[in-house]
A and B are shown apart, each in its own frame.
Chain A
Amino acid sequence: MDNFISFFEHVNENTLPMLWEGTLATIYITFLSSLLAYVAGLPLGVLLVVTSKVGVHPIVWLNKLLGFIVNILRSVPFLILLIAVLPLTRAIIGTTIGTKATVVPLFIASFPFVARLVEASLIEVNEGVIEAAWSMGSTPFQIIYKVLIPEALPSLINGAAIAVTTILSYSAMSGIVGGGGLGDIAIRYGYHRYETDIMFLTVIELVVIVQIIQAIGERWAKGSDKRLKLVAGRGLFGLGRAPWAGE
Protein backbone atom coordinates (compact mmCIF):
# COMPACT_ATOMS: atom_id res chain seq x y z
CA MET A 1 0.00 0.00 0.00
CA ASP A 2 2.89 2.30 0.82
CA ASN A 3 4.41 1.55 -2.55
CA PHE A 4 1.16 2.41 -4.18
CA ILE A 5 0.96 5.78 -2.46
CA SER A 6 4.61 6.56 -3.01
CA PHE A 7 4.11 5.84 -6.71
CA PHE A 8 2.04 9.00 -6.86
CA GLU A 9 4.81 11.12 -5.36
CA HIS A 10 4.57 13.85 -7.96
CA VAL A 11 0.89 14.48 -7.52
CA ASN A 12 0.35 17.74 -5.68
CA GLU A 13 -2.21 20.51 -5.40
CA ASN A 14 -1.23 21.76 -8.87
CA THR A 15 -1.81 18.41 -10.54
CA LEU A 16 -5.59 18.36 -10.64
CA PRO A 17 -6.05 21.85 -12.10
CA MET A 18 -3.37 21.03 -14.66
CA LEU A 19 -5.05 17.76 -15.59
CA TRP A 20 -8.37 19.54 -15.85
CA GLU A 21 -6.97 22.15 -18.18
CA GLY A 22 -5.31 19.43 -20.20
CA THR A 23 -8.58 17.55 -20.46
CA LEU A 24 -10.43 20.63 -21.67
CA ALA A 25 -7.67 21.32 -24.17
CA THR A 26 -7.77 17.75 -25.46
CA ILE A 27 -11.54 17.83 -25.83
CA TYR A 28 -11.40 21.20 -27.59
CA ILE A 29 -8.66 20.06 -30.01
CA THR A 30 -10.39 16.74 -30.71
CA PHE A 31 -13.82 18.11 -31.40
CA LEU A 32 -12.66 21.07 -33.44
CA SER A 33 -10.41 18.86 -35.57
CA SER A 34 -13.17 16.27 -35.95
CA LEU A 35 -15.65 18.89 -37.04
CA LEU A 36 -13.26 20.29 -39.65
CA ALA A 37 -12.31 16.79 -40.75
CA TYR A 38 -15.97 16.07 -41.43
CA VAL A 39 -16.54 19.37 -43.20
CA ALA A 40 -13.87 18.27 -45.68
CA GLY A 41 -14.12 14.51 -45.36
CA LEU A 42 -17.87 14.05 -45.74
CA PRO A 43 -18.14 15.67 -49.19
CA LEU A 44 -14.91 13.94 -50.18
CA GLY A 45 -16.32 10.56 -49.14
CA VAL A 46 -19.52 11.28 -51.05
CA LEU A 47 -17.47 12.16 -54.14
CA LEU A 48 -15.46 8.96 -53.86
CA VAL A 49 -18.65 6.90 -53.86
CA VAL A 50 -20.56 8.90 -56.44
CA THR A 51 -17.79 9.23 -59.03
CA SER A 52 -16.73 5.58 -58.90
CA LYS A 53 -17.28 3.35 -61.93
CA VAL A 54 -20.36 1.80 -60.33
CA GLY A 55 -21.44 5.03 -58.68
CA VAL A 56 -24.39 7.30 -59.15
CA HIS A 57 -22.49 9.66 -61.46
CA PRO A 58 -19.26 8.06 -62.67
CA ILE A 59 -16.31 10.34 -63.34
CA VAL A 60 -13.54 7.79 -63.34
CA TRP A 61 -10.55 10.12 -63.72
CA LEU A 62 -11.70 12.24 -60.76
CA ASN A 63 -12.32 9.15 -58.71
CA LYS A 64 -8.82 7.84 -59.38
CA LEU A 65 -7.26 11.22 -58.59
CA LEU A 66 -9.13 11.68 -55.31
CA GLY A 67 -8.41 8.11 -54.31
CA PHE A 68 -4.74 8.63 -55.02
CA ILE A 69 -4.53 11.78 -52.89
CA VAL A 70 -6.41 10.13 -50.04
CA ASN A 71 -4.16 7.08 -50.16
CA ILE A 72 -1.00 9.16 -50.07
CA LEU A 73 -2.14 11.23 -47.11
CA ARG A 74 -3.22 8.10 -45.28
CA SER A 75 0.07 6.32 -45.77
CA VAL A 76 2.23 9.01 -44.19
CA PRO A 77 2.77 8.09 -40.52
CA PHE A 78 1.11 10.71 -38.36
CA LEU A 79 4.22 11.80 -36.47
CA ILE A 80 6.06 12.40 -39.73
CA LEU A 81 3.12 14.29 -41.17
CA LEU A 82 2.99 16.36 -37.99
CA ILE A 83 6.55 17.49 -38.41
CA ALA A 84 6.37 17.88 -42.17
CA VAL A 85 3.42 20.20 -41.80
CA LEU A 86 5.09 22.49 -39.22
CA PRO A 87 5.90 25.23 -41.76
CA LEU A 88 2.31 25.23 -42.95
CA THR A 89 1.10 25.40 -39.37
CA ARG A 90 3.38 28.35 -38.70
CA ALA A 91 2.09 30.06 -41.83
CA ILE A 92 -1.57 29.63 -40.92
CA ILE A 93 -1.62 29.99 -37.15
CA GLY A 94 1.58 31.91 -36.57
CA THR A 95 3.05 29.36 -34.16
CA THR A 96 3.67 25.64 -33.98
CA ILE A 97 2.92 25.29 -30.31
CA GLY A 98 -0.31 25.03 -28.41
CA THR A 99 -3.85 23.85 -28.97
CA LYS A 100 -4.76 25.95 -32.02
CA ALA A 101 -1.60 24.88 -33.82
CA THR A 102 -2.35 21.19 -33.34
CA VAL A 103 -5.55 21.48 -35.31
CA VAL A 104 -3.71 21.96 -38.61
CA PRO A 105 -1.81 18.65 -38.73
CA LEU A 106 -4.71 16.83 -37.08
CA PHE A 107 -7.08 18.05 -39.77
CA ILE A 108 -4.73 17.08 -42.60
CA ALA A 109 -4.15 13.64 -41.13
CA SER A 110 -7.79 12.87 -40.41
CA PHE A 111 -9.94 14.19 -43.25
CA PRO A 112 -8.74 11.43 -45.62
CA PHE A 113 -9.54 8.88 -42.92
CA VAL A 114 -13.01 10.36 -42.49
CA ALA A 115 -13.49 10.26 -46.26
CA ARG A 116 -12.76 6.52 -46.31
CA LEU A 117 -15.12 5.91 -43.37
CA VAL A 118 -17.89 7.86 -45.09
CA GLU A 119 -17.21 5.98 -48.32
CA ALA A 120 -17.48 2.65 -46.52
CA SER A 121 -20.80 3.63 -44.95
CA LEU A 122 -22.35 4.88 -48.19
CA ILE A 123 -21.28 1.83 -50.19
CA GLU A 124 -23.21 -0.39 -47.81
CA VAL A 125 -26.55 1.15 -48.76
CA ASN A 126 -28.80 -1.45 -50.39
CA GLU A 127 -28.30 -1.30 -54.17
CA GLY A 128 -31.91 -2.29 -54.75
CA VAL A 129 -33.12 0.79 -52.89
CA ILE A 130 -30.94 2.99 -55.08
CA GLU A 131 -32.34 1.23 -58.14
CA ALA A 132 -35.86 1.93 -56.91
CA ALA A 133 -34.94 5.60 -56.49
CA TRP A 134 -33.70 5.71 -60.11
CA SER A 135 -36.89 4.03 -61.32
CA MET A 136 -38.93 6.83 -59.74
CA GLY A 137 -37.09 9.45 -61.79
CA SER A 138 -34.62 10.69 -59.17
CA THR A 139 -31.66 12.77 -60.28
CA PRO A 140 -28.20 11.77 -59.03
CA PHE A 141 -28.23 14.69 -56.60
CA GLN A 142 -31.58 13.63 -55.17
CA ILE A 143 -30.25 10.12 -54.70
CA ILE A 144 -27.28 11.42 -52.75
CA TYR A 145 -29.15 13.53 -50.24
CA LYS A 146 -32.48 11.69 -50.11
CA VAL A 147 -31.30 8.10 -50.27
CA LEU A 148 -27.56 7.54 -49.80
CA ILE A 149 -26.96 9.71 -46.76
CA PRO A 150 -30.19 9.06 -44.81
CA GLU A 151 -30.02 5.30 -45.43
CA ALA A 152 -26.39 5.23 -44.32
CA LEU A 153 -26.95 7.41 -41.25
CA PRO A 154 -26.54 4.76 -38.52
CA SER A 155 -23.33 3.58 -40.18
CA LEU A 156 -22.12 7.18 -40.55
CA ILE A 157 -22.68 7.75 -36.82
CA ASN A 158 -20.71 4.62 -36.00
CA GLY A 159 -17.95 5.86 -38.30
CA ALA A 160 -17.95 9.20 -36.50
CA ALA A 161 -17.33 7.47 -33.17
CA ILE A 162 -14.35 5.69 -34.73
CA ALA A 163 -13.10 8.94 -36.28
CA VAL A 164 -13.35 11.00 -33.12
CA THR A 165 -11.59 8.42 -30.95
CA THR A 166 -8.84 8.09 -33.54
CA ILE A 167 -8.41 11.86 -33.71
CA LEU A 168 -8.27 11.89 -29.93
CA SER A 169 -5.38 9.47 -29.95
CA TYR A 170 -3.63 11.52 -32.65
CA SER A 171 -4.05 14.62 -30.48
CA ALA A 172 -2.27 12.84 -27.67
CA MET A 173 0.64 12.12 -30.01
CA SER A 174 0.89 15.75 -31.02
CA GLY A 175 1.98 16.38 -27.45
CA ILE A 176 5.45 15.53 -28.71
CA VAL A 177 5.69 18.84 -30.52
CA GLY A 178 4.09 20.82 -27.74
CA GLY A 179 0.55 20.52 -28.93
CA GLY A 180 -1.17 21.00 -25.60
CA GLY A 181 -3.69 18.73 -23.97
CA LEU A 182 -3.28 15.47 -22.14
CA GLY A 183 -0.69 14.06 -24.52
CA ASP A 184 1.47 17.09 -24.01
CA ILE A 185 1.28 16.61 -20.23
CA ALA A 186 2.08 12.93 -20.55
CA ILE A 187 5.18 13.63 -22.61
CA ARG A 188 6.42 16.63 -20.64
CA TYR A 189 6.04 15.06 -17.22
CA GLY A 190 6.12 11.41 -17.98
CA TYR A 191 8.88 11.30 -20.56
CA HIS A 192 11.00 14.40 -20.12
CA ARG A 193 10.76 14.54 -16.31
CA TYR A 194 10.29 10.86 -15.59
CA GLU A 195 7.17 11.59 -13.52
CA THR A 196 5.51 8.37 -14.55
CA ASP A 197 2.66 8.74 -12.10
CA ILE A 198 1.43 11.85 -13.90
CA MET A 199 1.68 10.10 -17.22
CA PHE A 200 -0.25 7.19 -15.77
CA LEU A 201 -3.09 9.50 -14.76
CA THR A 202 -3.30 11.07 -18.21
CA VAL A 203 -3.43 7.64 -19.83
CA ILE A 204 -6.29 6.58 -17.56
CA GLU A 205 -8.13 9.73 -18.47
CA LEU A 206 -7.66 9.22 -22.19
CA VAL A 207 -8.94 5.66 -21.88
CA VAL A 208 -12.03 6.85 -20.03
CA ILE A 209 -12.79 9.56 -22.58
CA VAL A 210 -12.45 7.09 -25.45
CA GLN A 211 -14.81 4.67 -23.74
CA ILE A 212 -17.39 7.39 -23.25
CA ILE A 213 -17.24 8.57 -26.87
CA GLN A 214 -17.44 5.02 -28.17
CA ALA A 215 -20.41 4.23 -25.93
CA ILE A 216 -22.29 7.38 -26.91
CA GLY A 217 -21.63 6.79 -30.60
CA GLU A 218 -22.74 3.19 -30.46
CA ARG A 219 -25.89 3.97 -28.55
CA TRP A 220 -26.79 6.81 -30.87
CA ALA A 221 -26.15 4.74 -34.01
CA LYS A 222 -28.19 1.81 -32.77
CA GLY A 223 -30.91 4.08 -31.47
CA SER A 224 -31.43 5.75 -34.82
CA ASP A 225 -31.41 2.63 -36.98
CA LYS A 226 -34.98 1.96 -38.03
CA ARG A 227 -34.01 -1.39 -39.47
CA LEU A 228 -33.92 -2.72 -35.93
CA LYS A 229 -37.45 -3.69 -35.05
CA LEU A 230 -37.09 -2.67 -31.42
CA VAL A 231 -35.93 0.77 -32.43
CA ALA A 232 -38.50 1.45 -35.07
CA GLY A 233 -41.14 2.35 -32.55
CA ARG A 234 -39.03 4.82 -30.62
CA GLY A 235 -39.05 8.16 -32.36
CA LEU A 236 -36.22 10.50 -33.36
CA PHE A 237 -32.70 9.14 -32.80
CA GLY A 238 -34.14 6.41 -30.59
CA LEU A 239 -34.49 8.83 -27.71
CA GLY A 240 -38.10 7.87 -27.28
CA ARG A 241 -41.34 9.53 -28.23
CA ALA A 242 -42.51 12.58 -26.35
CA PRO A 243 -45.14 11.53 -23.79
CA TRP A 244 -47.74 13.72 -25.47
CA ALA A 245 -47.14 12.31 -28.96
CA GLY A 246 -49.87 9.95 -30.08
CA GLU A 247 -49.49 6.45 -31.51
Chain B
Amino acid sequence: MNILRTEHLKKTFPEATSGQDSCVLDDINISIEQGETYGIIGRSGAGKSTLVRCINFLERPTGGEVYFEGKAMSALPKAGLYKTRQSMGMIFQQFNLLEQRTALKNVRYPMEIAGWSKKDADARAEELLELVNMGDKKKSYPSQLSGGQRQRVAIARAIALNPKVLLCDEATSALDPETTKGVLDLLNEINRKYGITIVIITHEMSVIEYICDRVAILDDSRVVEEGPVLSILKNPQSETGKSFVKPEFRRIRG
Protein backbone atom coordinates (compact mmCIF):
# COMPACT_ATOMS: atom_id res chain seq x y z
CA MET B 1 0.00 0.00 0.00
CA ASN B 2 1.72 3.14 -1.03
CA ILE B 3 1.41 6.03 1.33
CA LEU B 4 2.99 8.62 -0.91
CA ARG B 5 2.96 8.84 -4.67
CA THR B 6 3.92 11.49 -7.17
CA GLU B 7 2.58 11.49 -10.71
CA HIS B 8 4.34 13.48 -13.43
CA LEU B 9 5.40 15.94 -10.76
CA LYS B 10 6.80 19.13 -12.22
CA LYS B 11 8.11 22.30 -10.62
CA THR B 12 9.44 25.36 -12.37
CA PHE B 13 10.62 28.57 -10.77
CA PRO B 14 10.47 31.91 -12.58
CA GLU B 15 14.07 33.00 -12.98
CA ALA B 16 14.36 36.62 -11.93
CA THR B 17 17.60 37.46 -13.71
CA SER B 18 17.59 35.56 -16.99
CA GLY B 19 13.87 35.92 -17.61
CA GLN B 20 13.58 32.23 -18.42
CA ASP B 21 11.84 29.79 -16.14
CA SER B 22 14.09 27.20 -14.55
CA CYS B 23 12.67 23.69 -14.37
CA VAL B 24 13.76 22.13 -11.10
CA LEU B 25 11.62 18.99 -11.24
CA ASP B 26 10.56 17.31 -14.46
CA ASP B 27 8.16 14.37 -14.69
CA ILE B 28 8.91 12.80 -11.31
CA ASN B 29 7.08 9.54 -10.66
CA ILE B 30 7.93 7.85 -7.40
CA SER B 31 5.87 5.78 -5.02
CA ILE B 32 6.71 5.13 -1.41
CA GLU B 33 5.39 2.14 0.56
CA GLN B 34 4.01 2.47 4.03
CA GLY B 35 6.56 1.58 6.67
CA GLU B 36 9.63 1.70 4.44
CA THR B 37 12.64 3.97 4.67
CA TYR B 38 12.96 5.64 1.29
CA GLY B 39 15.99 7.62 0.24
CA ILE B 40 16.29 10.38 -2.33
CA ILE B 41 19.83 11.26 -3.34
CA GLY B 42 21.31 13.73 -5.77
CA ARG B 43 23.97 16.37 -6.13
CA SER B 44 23.34 19.91 -4.89
CA GLY B 45 20.81 21.57 -7.15
CA ALA B 46 19.41 18.29 -8.47
CA GLY B 47 15.97 19.08 -7.06
CA LYS B 48 15.81 16.86 -3.96
CA SER B 49 14.87 19.57 -1.46
CA THR B 50 12.24 20.89 -3.86
CA LEU B 51 10.86 17.39 -4.26
CA VAL B 52 10.45 16.81 -0.55
CA ARG B 53 8.87 20.25 -0.18
CA CYS B 54 6.34 19.38 -2.86
CA ILE B 55 5.32 16.36 -0.83
CA ASN B 56 3.89 18.45 1.99
CA PHE B 57 3.10 21.33 -0.34
CA LEU B 58 5.54 23.77 1.22
CA GLU B 59 6.11 24.25 -2.50
CA ARG B 60 3.13 24.01 -4.83
CA PRO B 61 3.91 21.82 -7.84
CA THR B 62 3.61 23.53 -11.22
CA GLY B 63 2.34 20.33 -12.81
CA GLY B 64 1.44 16.77 -11.91
CA GLU B 65 0.09 15.54 -8.61
CA VAL B 66 1.09 14.33 -5.17
CA TYR B 67 -1.04 11.65 -3.50
CA PHE B 68 -0.93 11.13 0.26
CA GLU B 69 -2.83 8.04 1.41
CA GLY B 70 -4.48 8.01 -1.99
CA LYS B 71 -5.80 11.57 -1.75
CA ALA B 72 -4.62 14.32 -4.08
CA MET B 73 -2.88 17.11 -2.19
CA SER B 74 -3.84 19.84 -4.65
CA ALA B 75 -7.52 19.09 -4.13
CA LEU B 76 -7.30 19.94 -0.45
CA PRO B 77 -8.75 23.23 0.80
CA LYS B 78 -6.46 25.31 3.00
CA ALA B 79 -7.82 23.92 6.27
CA GLY B 80 -7.54 20.39 4.93
CA LEU B 81 -3.93 21.01 3.94
CA TYR B 82 -3.04 22.24 7.43
CA LYS B 83 -4.75 19.21 8.95
CA THR B 84 -2.98 16.82 6.57
CA ARG B 85 0.39 18.34 7.43
CA GLN B 86 -0.21 17.28 11.02
CA SER B 87 0.11 13.70 9.75
CA MET B 88 3.47 14.48 8.21
CA GLY B 89 6.50 15.37 10.27
CA MET B 90 9.52 17.16 8.86
CA ILE B 91 13.07 17.79 10.01
CA PHE B 92 15.60 20.09 8.41
CA GLN B 93 19.30 20.54 7.83
CA GLN B 94 19.37 23.65 10.02
CA PHE B 95 17.04 22.11 12.63
CA ASN B 96 14.69 25.16 12.63
CA LEU B 97 13.81 25.09 16.31
CA LEU B 98 12.06 28.08 17.86
CA GLU B 99 14.97 29.88 19.46
CA GLN B 100 13.00 31.73 22.13
CA ARG B 101 11.44 28.49 23.43
CA THR B 102 12.91 25.72 25.56
CA ALA B 103 13.30 22.21 24.17
CA LEU B 104 10.13 21.15 25.94
CA LYS B 105 8.12 24.06 24.58
CA ASN B 106 9.49 23.40 21.11
CA VAL B 107 8.29 19.81 21.23
CA ARG B 108 4.98 21.06 22.60
CA TYR B 109 4.37 23.29 19.58
CA PRO B 110 2.58 20.79 17.28
CA MET B 111 0.25 19.85 20.13
CA GLU B 112 -0.59 23.50 20.70
CA ILE B 113 -1.40 23.81 17.00
CA ALA B 114 -3.63 20.74 17.20
CA GLY B 115 -5.50 22.15 20.18
CA TRP B 116 -4.35 19.86 22.97
CA SER B 117 -4.67 20.95 26.60
CA LYS B 118 -1.47 22.32 28.13
CA LYS B 119 -1.27 19.44 30.56
CA ASP B 120 -1.59 16.73 27.92
CA ALA B 121 0.80 18.55 25.61
CA ASP B 122 3.45 18.90 28.28
CA ALA B 123 3.15 15.27 29.30
CA ARG B 124 3.49 14.06 25.72
CA ALA B 125 6.39 16.43 25.09
CA GLU B 126 8.29 15.07 28.08
CA GLU B 127 7.64 11.53 26.91
CA LEU B 128 8.96 12.37 23.45
CA LEU B 129 12.09 14.02 24.79
CA GLU B 130 12.80 10.90 26.84
CA LEU B 131 12.43 8.83 23.70
CA VAL B 132 15.10 10.79 21.89
CA ASN B 133 17.33 10.80 24.96
CA MET B 134 16.99 14.48 25.66
CA GLY B 135 14.93 14.25 28.84
CA ASP B 136 17.49 16.07 30.97
CA LYS B 137 17.64 18.99 28.51
CA LYS B 138 13.96 19.83 28.51
CA LYS B 139 14.48 23.29 30.02
CA SER B 140 17.42 24.13 27.78
CA TYR B 141 17.22 26.57 24.93
CA PRO B 142 18.47 25.67 21.44
CA SER B 143 21.43 28.02 21.85
CA GLN B 144 22.63 25.81 24.69
CA LEU B 145 22.46 22.61 22.64
CA SER B 146 24.83 21.04 20.15
CA GLY B 147 23.79 20.29 16.58
CA GLY B 148 23.06 16.65 17.27
CA GLN B 149 21.00 17.55 20.33
CA ARG B 150 19.02 20.11 18.39
CA GLN B 151 18.22 17.58 15.70
CA ARG B 152 17.01 15.13 18.33
CA VAL B 153 14.68 17.77 19.75
CA ALA B 154 13.53 18.49 16.20
CA ILE B 155 12.82 14.80 15.68
CA ALA B 156 10.83 14.64 18.91
CA ARG B 157 8.84 17.63 17.69
CA ALA B 158 8.29 16.13 14.26
CA ILE B 159 6.82 12.85 15.55
CA ALA B 160 4.78 14.49 18.32
CA LEU B 161 1.41 13.95 16.65
CA ASN B 162 2.20 10.40 15.54
CA PRO B 163 2.54 11.23 11.88
CA LYS B 164 2.33 8.58 9.18
CA VAL B 165 5.38 9.99 7.40
CA LEU B 166 8.59 11.70 8.52
CA LEU B 167 10.32 13.82 5.89
CA CYS B 168 14.03 14.44 6.49
CA ASP B 169 15.52 17.22 4.38
CA GLU B 170 19.30 16.76 4.54
CA ALA B 171 18.82 16.21 8.25
CA THR B 172 22.39 15.03 8.85
CA SER B 173 24.24 17.18 6.33
CA ALA B 174 25.32 19.64 9.02
CA LEU B 175 26.47 16.97 11.49
CA ASP B 176 29.75 15.13 11.95
CA PRO B 177 29.84 11.39 11.05
CA GLU B 178 29.44 10.12 14.60
CA THR B 179 26.51 12.39 15.41
CA THR B 180 25.03 11.51 12.02
CA LYS B 181 25.11 7.86 12.96
CA GLY B 182 23.34 8.63 16.25
CA VAL B 183 20.57 10.52 14.46
CA LEU B 184 20.17 7.82 11.81
CA ASP B 185 20.01 5.16 14.53
CA LEU B 186 17.20 7.13 16.12
CA LEU B 187 15.35 7.44 12.82
CA ASN B 188 15.75 3.73 12.23
CA GLU B 189 14.39 2.96 15.68
CA ILE B 190 11.39 5.21 15.06
CA ASN B 191 10.72 3.46 11.79
CA ARG B 192 10.99 -0.01 13.32
CA LYS B 193 9.10 0.68 16.53
CA TYR B 194 6.29 2.91 15.28
CA GLY B 195 6.04 1.99 11.62
CA ILE B 196 6.47 5.62 10.57
CA THR B 197 7.45 5.85 6.91
CA ILE B 198 10.72 7.75 6.58
CA VAL B 199 11.76 9.75 3.53
CA ILE B 200 15.44 10.75 3.63
CA ILE B 201 16.86 13.43 1.38
CA THR B 202 20.65 13.50 1.26
CA HIS B 203 23.67 13.93 -0.92
CA GLU B 204 25.67 11.29 0.95
CA MET B 205 25.44 7.69 -0.23
CA SER B 206 26.67 6.46 3.14
CA VAL B 207 23.43 7.68 4.71
CA ILE B 208 21.34 5.82 2.13
CA GLU B 209 23.47 2.77 2.60
CA TYR B 210 23.05 2.83 6.36
CA ILE B 211 19.28 2.70 6.76
CA CYS B 212 17.34 3.01 3.50
CA ASP B 213 15.33 0.22 1.86
CA ARG B 214 14.91 1.81 -1.55
CA VAL B 215 16.40 4.87 -3.16
CA ALA B 216 15.66 7.27 -6.02
CA ILE B 217 18.62 8.98 -7.65
CA LEU B 218 17.92 12.47 -8.92
CA ASP B 219 20.02 14.30 -11.47
CA ASP B 220 19.19 17.58 -13.16
CA SER B 221 15.47 17.54 -12.31
CA ARG B 222 14.81 13.89 -13.25
CA VAL B 223 14.87 10.50 -11.59
CA VAL B 224 17.71 8.67 -13.35
CA GLU B 225 17.62 5.49 -11.32
CA GLU B 226 15.42 3.92 -8.68
CA GLY B 227 15.25 0.67 -6.77
CA PRO B 228 16.35 -1.35 -3.74
CA VAL B 229 19.45 0.08 -2.11
CA LEU B 230 21.34 -3.18 -2.06
CA SER B 231 21.01 -3.84 -5.80
CA ILE B 232 21.90 -0.27 -6.75
CA LEU B 233 24.95 -0.36 -4.53
CA LYS B 234 26.04 -3.62 -6.07
CA ASN B 235 25.31 -2.64 -9.64
CA PRO B 236 24.53 1.02 -10.38
CA GLN B 237 23.21 1.53 -13.91
CA SER B 238 23.20 5.30 -14.36
CA GLU B 239 26.26 7.56 -14.59
CA THR B 240 25.04 9.48 -11.53
CA GLY B 241 24.47 6.26 -9.64
CA LYS B 242 27.95 5.07 -10.48
CA SER B 243 29.49 8.35 -9.35
CA PHE B 244 27.74 8.07 -5.99
CA VAL B 245 28.77 4.49 -5.39
CA LYS B 246 32.48 4.96 -5.95
CA PRO B 247 34.61 6.65 -3.24
CA GLU B 248 34.41 10.46 -2.95
CA PHE B 249 37.95 11.78 -2.74
CA ARG B 250 41.21 10.46 -4.11
CA ARG B 251 44.23 12.42 -3.03
CA ILE B 252 45.58 14.94 -5.57
CA ARG B 253 48.53 16.17 -3.55
CA GLY B 254 51.68 14.10 -3.79
B202 at the interface (CB under 8 A from A): no
Bitwise interface map of B from 79 to 111 toward A, beta carbon under 8 Å scored 1, else 0: 100111110111010101111110000000110
- Identify A226's interface contact among B58, B84, B86, B100, CB under 8 A: B100
Closest to B139 in A: A247
Residues of B within 8 A of A226 (CB): 99-101, 141-143
Shortest CB distance A122–B (Å): 13
Bitwise interface map of A from 178 to 198 toward B, beta carbon under 8 Å scored 1, else 0: 000000000000000000000
Residues of B within 8 A of A229 (CB): 143-144
Whether A151 pairs with B82 at a CB distance below 8 angstroms is no
Closest to A134 in B: B58
Shortest CB distance B239–A (Å): 33
Show the binding face of B for A, using Cβ within 8 Å.
56, 58, 79, 82-86, 88-90, 92, 94, 96-101, 109-110, 112-114, 139-144, 154, 157-158, 167
Whether B96 pairs with A131 at a CB distance below 8 angstroms is yes
Interface centre among A126, A136, A142, A226 (most CB of B within 10 A): A136
Show the binding face of A for B, using Cβ within 8 Å.
126, 128-129, 131-139, 142, 146-147, 150-151, 153-154, 225-229, 232-233, 247
Residues of A within 8 A of B58 (CB): 131, 134-135
Whether B99 pairs with A126 at a CB distance below 8 angstroms is yes
Whether A232 pairs with B143 at a CB distance below 8 angstroms is yes
Majority SS at the chain B contact face: mixed
Residues of B within 8 A of A154 (CB): 100
Q: Give the docked Cα–Cα distance between A228 and B144 (Å).
A: 9
Closest to A224 in B: B100
Whether A129 pairs with B56 at a CB distance below 8 angstroms is no
Residues of A within 8 A of B167 (CB): 135
Whether A136 pairs with B85 at a CB distance below 8 angstroms is yes
- Identify B143's interface contact among A137, A151, A227, CB under 8 A: A227
Closest to B93 in A: A128
Interface centre among A132, A133, A225, A227 (most CB of B within 10 A): A132
Starting from the known contacts A136-B157, A150-B98, 15 additional A-B residue pairs (CB-CB under 8 Å) come to A128-B94, A129-B97, A129-B98, A135-B58, A136-B85, A137-B82, A137-B85, A137-B86, A138-B82, A142-B113, A153-B100, A226-B100, A227-B100, A232-B143, A233-B144
Whether A135 pairs with B85 at a CB distance below 8 angstroms is yes
Residues of B within 8 A of A142 (CB): 113
Q: Give the docked Cα–Cα distance between A225 and B88 (Å).
A: 31
Q: Give the docked Cα–Cα distance between A134 and B89 (Å).
A: 11
Q: Give the docked Cα–Cα distance between A128 and B174 (Å).
A: 15
Q: Give the docked Cα–Cα distance between A132 and B168 (Å).
A: 12
Whether A132 pairs with B92 at a CB distance below 8 angstroms is yes
Shortest CB distance A75–B (Å): 29
Whether A147 pairs with B143 at a CB distance below 8 angstroms is no
Q: Give the docked Cα–Cα distance between A137 and B90 (Å).
A: 11
Whether A137 pairs with B96 at a CB distance below 8 angstroms is no
Contacts A227-B99, A229-B143 given; indicate if A136 touches B94 (C-beta within 8 A): no
Residues of A within 8 A of B113 (CB): 136-138, 142, 146
- Identify A136's interface contact among B99, B110, B143, B144, CB under 8 A: B110
Q: Give the docked Cα–Cα distance between A142 and B85 (Å).
A: 14
Q: Give the docked Cα–Cα distance between A135 and B110 (Å).
A: 10
Can you list 29 residue pairs at the A/B interface with Cβ under 8 Å?
A126-B96, A129-B97, A129-B98, A131-B96, A132-B92, A132-B96, A133-B109, A135-B58, A135-B88, A136-B109, A136-B157, A136-B158, A137-B82, A137-B85, A137-B110, A137-B113, A138-B82, A150-B100, A151-B99, A225-B100, A226-B101, A226-B142, A227-B99, A227-B100, A227-B143, A228-B143, A229-B144, A233-B144, A247-B139
Shortest CB distance B146–A (Å): 12
Interface centre among B90, B96, B101, B154 (most CB of A within 10 A): B96
Whether B110 pairs with A147 at a CB distance below 8 angstroms is no
